[in-house]
Homo-oligomer: A and B are copies of this chain.
Amino acid sequence: MTADRLLALDKAGQDLLFRAARTANTFTGEPVTDAQVAAIHDLVRYGPTALNGQPLRVLLLRSPESRARLLPYVSGGNRAKTAGAPLTAVLAADVDFHERLPELFPHRPDAKDWLSDREERVAQARFNATLQVGYLVVGVRAAGLAAGPMAGFDAEGVRREFFPDGRHEVLLLLNIGRPGPDAARERLPRLATEEVVRTL
């Protein structure tokens, strides 16, 4: 039995989400609609987070004005593809996500108080929002779209520019759209299971 037959997810789903999916570096002009974004979020919001805290926040830059505000903070190699994407998401963690815990984790009404230390909360917000970014990349692909995650940017500058409230940390930029011509380079090598997984 080949590896893909051990999975419950069918071959089409495996290809859509992982095997055939590629990070896109160019995009067509086709817009990504608010309805598509809502459908993606409605799917991935069910992914698990600690204390059901859901710290990820998504700022979509769609207008030319908002995009122009972002570009100065993006590294040279990422600027053209960001300018050309129909949609760029700024992915951030809400450091004060714990304020919502009384609603989100109602069976432990004191959970909010466990996170009174800001430094610990920042670490937990970053960690769980990053997990959610993983779910979101899968969700973008589940919508038949390509994701283009970018770490090459001035995160502190983007934070100041778009989240001046001081309660967010910026994690990643994500271009979203239909892949354009020569969207992906050749698939890079992946580590083998025996290089990643050990058993005791």
Chain A residues with CB under 8 Å of chain B are: 1, 3-4, 6-10, 12-14, 16-19, 21, 23, 34-48, 50, 52, 54, 56-63, 65-66, 100, 103-107, 124, 127, 130-135, 137-139, 142-144, 147, 149, 151, 162, 171, 185, 188-191, 193, 196-200
Give Cα distance in the complex from A124 to B155, angstroms: 13
CB atoms of B13 and A142 under 8 A apart: yes
Residues on B with C-beta less than 8 A from A147 are 48
- The residue that A196 contacts in the complex, of B16, B56, B124, B151, with Cβ under 8 A, is B56
Q: Which of A62, A104, A135 has the most CB of B within 10 A?
A: A135
CB atoms of A100 and B191 under 8 A apart: yes
Q: List 19 A-B contacts (CB under 8 A).
A: A3-B35, A3-B39, A3-B42, A6-B143, A7-B39, A7-B43, A9-B16, A9-B43, A9-B143, A13-B142, A34-B199, A38-B193, A45-B191, A46-B190, A48-B149, A54-B196, A57-B198, A59-B197, A130-B130
CB atoms of A50 and B197 under 8 A apart: no
Q: Which of A13, A35, A162 has the most CB of B within 10 A?
A: A13
Query: Smallest CB–CB gap between A156 and chain B, Å?
Result: 13
Q: How many copies does the complex hold?
A: 2
Residues on B with C-beta less than 8 A from A132 are 134
Residues on B with C-beta less than 8 A from A143 are 6-9
- The residue that A45 contacts in the complex, of B9, B130, B171, B190, with Cβ under 8 A, is B190
- The residue that A39 contacts in the complex, of B4, B12, B41, B149, with Cβ under 8 A, is B4
Query: Smallest CB–CB gap between A59 and chain B, Å?
Result: 5
Nearest-CB residue, chain B, relative to A33: B6
CB atoms of B127 and A171 under 8 A apart: yes
Q: A23-B48, A105-B188, A191-B100 are in contact. Are A199 and B62 (CB under 8 A)?
A: yes
